[in-house]
Structure 1
Amino acid sequence: MTPTSPYSSLLGRIPVVKRTVSIGGSVTTYWEYGTPSNRPTIVMVHGFRGDHHGLEPVVAHLPGFHMISPDLPGFGESDPLRLSKHDIDGYAGWLSRFVDALQLDKAPVLLGHSFGSIVVSAALARTDLSTEQLILVNPIAAPALSGPRGILTRLAVFYYQMGALLPERLGFALLRNRIIVRIMSVTMAKTTDRSLRRWIHAEHDRYFSAFSDRDVVLEAFKASVSNDVSEFARSIDAHTLLVAADRDDITPVSAQHTLEGLFPDATLEVLPEVGHLIHYELPAQAATLIENFLSPGVGGTTEDTATVTDSGEAKR
Structure 2
Amino acid sequence: MIYVQPLPPPTVSPQVGKIIQTGREQIHMLESGGANGNPVVLLHGCGSIAEEVMMPFSGSGLHIIAPDRPGYGFSQALPAGERGPRGQSFWLERFLEALELDKVVVAAHSIGCAAALHLAARRPDLLKGLFLISPCCRPVPFKPFIVLRSAVAPFVGPVIRQHVIARWSSYFLERGLRASSYPNPVTAELSTLPAIHMVNAASIATMAEELWAFNGDMQPPEGLPADLPVSVLFGREDRIIDPGWHLDWLHERHPALTVELLDDVGHMPHHVAPDLALTMLCDLAGKTPADIAGKTSDETGEASQPVIAVA
Interval containing the TM-score (normalised by the shorter chain):
0.7 to 0.9
Q: Contact between 2:72 and 2:203, CA under 8 Å: does it hold in 1?
A: no
Instruction: Name which of 109, 114, 125 aligns with 2:105.
Output: 109
Q: TM-score, normalised by structure 1?
A: 0.74
2:245 equivalent to 1:255: yes
After superposition, the C-alpha distances for 1:261-294 in whole angstroms (9 at most, x for unaligned) are 5313321111222111123332222112222343
Change (3 A) 1:172 1:211: closer
CA-to-partner distance for each residue in 1:133-170, whole Å, 9 max, x for gaps?
1111111143343xxxxxxx7242x2222112242531
Q: Which residue of 2 aligns with 1:239?
A: 229
Instruction: Choose the corresponding residue for 1:190, options 182, 194, 216.
Output: 182
Match of 2:309 in 1: none
* Cα RMSD, aligned residues only: 3.2
- Among 87, 91, 97, the alignment partner of 1:100 is 97
Q: Which has the larger Rg?
A: 2
| Alpha-carbon separation, structure 2, partners of 1:265 and 1:32 | 31
Secondary structure of 1:119's partner? helix
Aligned to 1:54: 52
CA–CA distance in structure 2, aligned partners of residues 58 and 125 of structure 1: 27
Instruction: For residues 220-279 of structure 1, give each alpha carbon's deviation from its aligned partner in whole angstroms, at most 9, with x where no partner exists.
Output: 232346555x85662344111111111111333323542235313321111222111123
Task: Could you list the structure 1 runs, at least 4 aligned residues long, displaced by more than 6 angstroms after superposition.
Answer: none
Task: Determine helix, strand or coil for the equivalent of 2:151.
Answer: helix
1:161 aligns with 2:161: no
Structure possessing the higher relative contact order (Cα contacts under 8 Å, 6 or more residues apart): 2
For the Cα contact (< 8 Å) 2:131–2:231, is it kept in 1?
Answer: yes
Question: Do the aligned residues in 2 keep the contact of 1:236 with 1:264 (CA within 8 Å)?
Answer: no
Displacement after TM superposition at 1:127 (Å) = 5.1
SS state of the match for residue 202, structure 2? coil
Do 1:61 and 1:287's aligned partners in 2 also have CA atoms closer than 8 Å? no
Rounded Cα–Cα distance in structure 2 between residues aligned with 1:98 and 1:212: 21
1:138 maps to a residue whose letter is S
Alignment correspondent of 2:119? 123
1: CA distance between counterparts of 2:276 and 2:85? 29
1:193-241 Cα offsets, whole Å, 9 max, x none, are 5xx546535537355315636643321232346555x856623441111
Residue 294 of structure 1: which of 260, 277, 285 is its match?
Answer: 285
Counterpart of 2:72? 75
Is residue 138 of structure 1 aligned with residue 134 of structure 2? yes
Pairing 1:218–2:208 present = yes
Task: Describe the SS at the equivalent of 1:96.
Answer: helix
Of 254, 262, 274, 1:271 maps to: 262
SS class of match (1:132) = strand
Say whether the 8 Å CA contact 2:111–2:137 is kept in structure 1: no
Q: Are the aligned partners of 2:44 and 2:112 in contact in 1 as well (CA < 8 Å)?
A: yes
Aligned equivalents of 2:36, 2:188: Cα separation in 1: 36
In the alignment, the residues of structure 2 paired with residue 2 and residue 246 of structure 1 have an alpha-carbon distance, to the nearest angstrom, of: 35
The one-letter code matched in structure 1 to 2:118 is A
Distance 1:61 1:249, change over 3 A: farther
- State the AA in 2 paired with 1:283: P
TM-score by length of 2: 0.75
Q: Could you tell me how far 1:45 is from its partner in structure 2?
A: 1.0
Aligned partner of 2:43 among 42, 45, 49:
45
Unpaired segments of 5 or more residues in structure 2? Answer: 1-8, 291-311
Contact 1:122 1:232 in 2 (8 A): no
Deviations 1:100-152 (A, max 9, x none): 11113x4211111111101111122245763121111111143343xxxxxxx
**Which residue number in structure 2 is paired with residue 31 of structure 1?**
30
The 1:293/1:272 distance shift into structure 2, 3 A limit, reads: farther
- In the aligned structure 2, how far is the partner of 1:211 from the partner of 1:281? 30
Equivalent residue number for residue 275 of structure 2: 284
Which stretch of structure 1 is more off in the superposition, 125-134 or 67-76?
125-134
Match in the other structure for 1:170: 159
> Hey, which of these two has a bigger chunk of helix by percent?
1
Q: CA distance change for structure 1 residues 119 and 175 in 2, over 3 Å: closer, same or farther?
A: farther
> Aligned equivalents of 1:206 and 1:66: distance in 2?
28
Match of 1:19 in 2: 18
Amino acid at match of 2:70: P
Match for residue 11 of structure 1? none
CA distance, structure 1, for counterparts of residue 122 and residue 50 of structure 2: 24
Structure 2 distance, partners of 1:155, 1:198, is: 31
What's the CA shift for 1:70? 0.6
Q: 1:85 aligns to what SS in structure 2?
A: coil
